[in-house]
A = this chain, B = another copy of it.
């Protein structure tokens, strides 16, 4: 490769070393902890661009990384007749380029789009759809069984599923755009983008307090109930321990584009909105009392005898207690894609859920939510994807190596 000339803004010296401590901090930050602050707290503003999340590790980095300012998701379809060897070449190239870009380094034939931007906490996480496995003649894990249809689903097939799913997260949209362009350029001839969507959050520690749970476009703190790495069974809920060997330590990703009917939501009073969710808007505390991270008290009654968290409240219907323990690790990025012809905003949440088995995770929970969640009448699921995200990569390996070697 011919690297471009020296970036004028960030140099490798400005890039944070990927220490074990930073890796641990990243995990804690993913679920609202504050260990990240102790690692990064002394930095000045411009060093945010220099934040680096290691690409290699036991799990792909996008699963446990702290909330990023930008989440871009792209689904690729492989060209017809692609051979396993061609796919291996692509995945080796993507691995090499992902290592470079997550270190803030240019790739071969770099377009210079993000030259000087630093890694900006870039993560690149890759998963495989059932359609890819069928094309390769590989057995399809039972976990990739199609997600059933739910009431109120309004799915656009052209923006659903795909052979390969790629989650790109970063604190700088230019860095995300550059990564997407780089990956799609090297894919030419082997795979092409089927659909792509972009979302955003506040930047952790830059525009909101470090470790704060993001707010969604309904104004609600969203993600409080996520399992945390220290929780009992965290690994068992999120990472695959059974199924094909190439997925051990991997995770199954459910992607949903969930439109929010914001104009309808706005017609509710704040009190009514809080009842629908089951949490206060300002602090995120459950209506059963306490602060954001106080556990739900689903039995608590009000003086009038009614339940503090109503029967149809979103947090009740989504809780593990209502779903025989079903637990998923959620990530969300808001999207706002302009206005529709009817004058309403085309806006909502790019929802991602990681779990060891969607049948016991997202699907079980969504079956309940679609029937009983009061929030559901303000939401429309518009696209859906399901991907097997293989485990992390060791420094000499490549993305999906286990699958390719098992063919």
Contact = CB atoms under 8 A, between A and B. Distances in A.
Interface stretch (A199-207, A314-322, A351-359): A199-207
A343 B193 contact: yes
A69 interface: yes
A209 interface: yes
A182 to B, nearest CB: 10
Among A8, A43, A112, A206, find the residue whose CB has the most chain B CB atoms closer than 10 A.
Answer: A206
Number of copies of this protein chain within its complex: 2
A172 interface: yes
A6 B218 CA distance: 18
Contact of A203 (B172, B181, B185): B172
Among A4, A209, A212, A345, find the residue whose CB has the most chain B CB atoms closer than 10 A.
Answer: A209
Contacts of A297: none
Contact of A112 (B197, B281, B343): B281
A174 B200 contact: yes
A219 B115 CA distance: 8
A173 B114 contact: no
B48 A338 contact: no
Contacts of A41: 44
Interface string A245-269: 0000000000000000010001000
Contact of A40 (B5, B45, B113, B336): B45
A188 B345 CA distance: 14
A175 interface: yes
A229 B217 CA distance: 37
A208 B104 CA distance: 12
Nearest to A116: B208
A212 B177 contact: no
A360 interface: no
A282 interface: yes
Contact of A206 (B45, B113, B180, B347): B45
Contacts of A46: 205-210
A157 B69 CA distance: 33
A347 B174 CA distance: 12
A8 B283 contact: yes
Interface size classification for chain A: 35 or more
A88 B321 CA distance: 53
A217 B185 CA distance: 14
A270 B45 CA distance: 32
A343 to B, nearest CB: 5
Nearest to A210: B46
A202 B43 contact: no
A22 interface: no
Contact of A69 (B110, B173, B220): B173
B49 A47 contact: no
A270 B177 CA distance: 19
Contacts of A43: 44-45
Interface in A38-73: 40-49, 69, 72
Contacts of A208: 9-10, 46, 49, 116-118, 172
A297 B111 CA distance: 26
A280 B42 CA distance: 36
A282 B177 CA distance: 18
B112 A219 contact: yes
Contacts of A180: 336
9 contacts: A6-B282, A42-B44, A46-B207, A48-B203, A48-B207, A113-B219, A171-B206, A175-B207, A203-B206
Interface of A: 4-10, 40-49, 69, 72, 110-118, 120, 171-175, 177, 180-181, 185, 192-198, 200-203, 205-210, 212, 215, 217-220, 262, 266, 270, 280-283, 334, 336-339, 343, 345, 347
The 6 closest A-B pairs by CB, nearest first: A112-B219, A49-B207, A172-B207, A173-B200, A5-B282, A9-B209
